Structure 1
Amino acid sequence: MPAPAELVRDFVNTLDVECGTDELACPAELALWLRERGLAGPLDRATDDDLATALALREGLRAALRRETTPHTVLPVLPLRLVVDPLPRLVPVDTGVRGALAVIAGAVADASWDRLKVCSEITCQWAFIDVSKNRSRSWCSMRVCGNRTKTRAYRARKQGSRRLQASNTDTV
């Protein structure tokens, strides 16, 4: 099973916002994704309700990673219990696919939350782990998303200065 931060990141990234592709397009794909990460067993099958819960969890986590959530944000109920043996840890109450989704929800508590982020490029929204020393990264990739954002800002400033120049010549 991946480290908690990697698990949360990978789960959020099952939807590629930019391309519109979704690794969890049906219950069977959800069960496969969970099995591939050692979260569900070979006989566990996902239902439509499980898929709806997974998608709600994914989008709730994405909103939380954007740091845009409010106290009223609703995440699906995935019960966990605290077990101390000898260290405290959260374990799912349910088994199967719902239990696997609860493991993902519980991973949030163990993840380096201040290092988990979503790319600030609105067309991207890719989750990433910020490994910068001061935790100041805004984009999943400076070369791609950072460049897009900065180019768009530059063009907007340039266009604004052209409008300003045009309005100044109109008044003369």
Structure 2
Amino acid sequence: MAEAQDDPAPLLRDFVNTLNIDAAEDELTTPERLAAWLAGRGLVPDGARASGADLATAITLREGLREAMSAHHGPREAEFPDDLEDALAAVPLRVRFAGARPGLVPLDPPGTAAAGLARLAVAIMDAVAAGTWSRLKVCQEDTCRWAFLDTSKNRSRAWCSMSTCGNRTKTRAYRARRRA
């Protein structure tokens, strides 16, 4: 398995972006595709198995993360959505005291999709610790909802791409003002 990245934010962004709303493409349509995605990110070894329940948990986790990231546009931090809380409760984790820093670790064997999903849950806490969790946002264009990492100095980025989604939004607002 590949080593985890120093910054877990790109992993979480990529997980949320397994559903491309604009193109109506979902990378996680079967348990096998879930296992392949997790293996491709080094969260489980190649050949790991996933069940229908794992897929359902993954989709709930993904959409809950999308909703939580969407809340990062506001002035205050929102609570995790209930569905996300339920999905995280279904992921087997434990606190391990090893070395100087305690951490969360998956309970399931590394060859299971549940262990890979648990590693995604750990990535949330790692992103909080790294200070990048609140920079994970979702495009405010309703037809897009693509996750991105806001690297702007004042953390005010609203769209995944100013040239595409920002332009769509501003053009609609301009046309609405012209009609009025």
Give the TM-score of the pair, scaled to structure 2. Answer: 0.84
Structure of larger gyration radius: 1
Amino acid at match of 1:44: A
Percent identity of paired positions between Structure 1 and Structure 2: 54
2:98 to 85, 97, 106: 85
Distance (Å, rounded) in 1 between the aligned partners of 2:105 and 2:28: 23
Change (3 A) 1:72 1:4: closer
Q: Any unmatched runs of 5+ in structure 1? A: 161-172
Give the TM-score of the pair, scaled to structure 1. Answer: 0.87
Greater shift, 133-142 or 38-47, is seen at 38-47
Q: Matched residue of 2:82: which SS?
A: coil
Matched, 1:120 2:143: no
Distance (Å, rounded) in 2 between the aligned partners of 1:85 and 1:148: 50
1:68-147 counterparts in 2 under 5 A?
73-75=82-84, 76=87, 77-86=90-99, 87-95=101-109, 96-111=112-127, 112-147=132-167
Matched residue, 1:166 = none
Q: Matched residue of 2:105: which SS?
A: strand
Which ranges of 4 or more aligned residues in structure 1 deviate by more than 6 Å? none
Matched residue, 1:58 = 62
**How far has the Cα of 1:43 moved from its partner?**
3.0
- The number of aligned residues is 160
Matched residue, 2:75 = none
Q: Any unmatched runs of 5+ in structure 2? A: 73-77
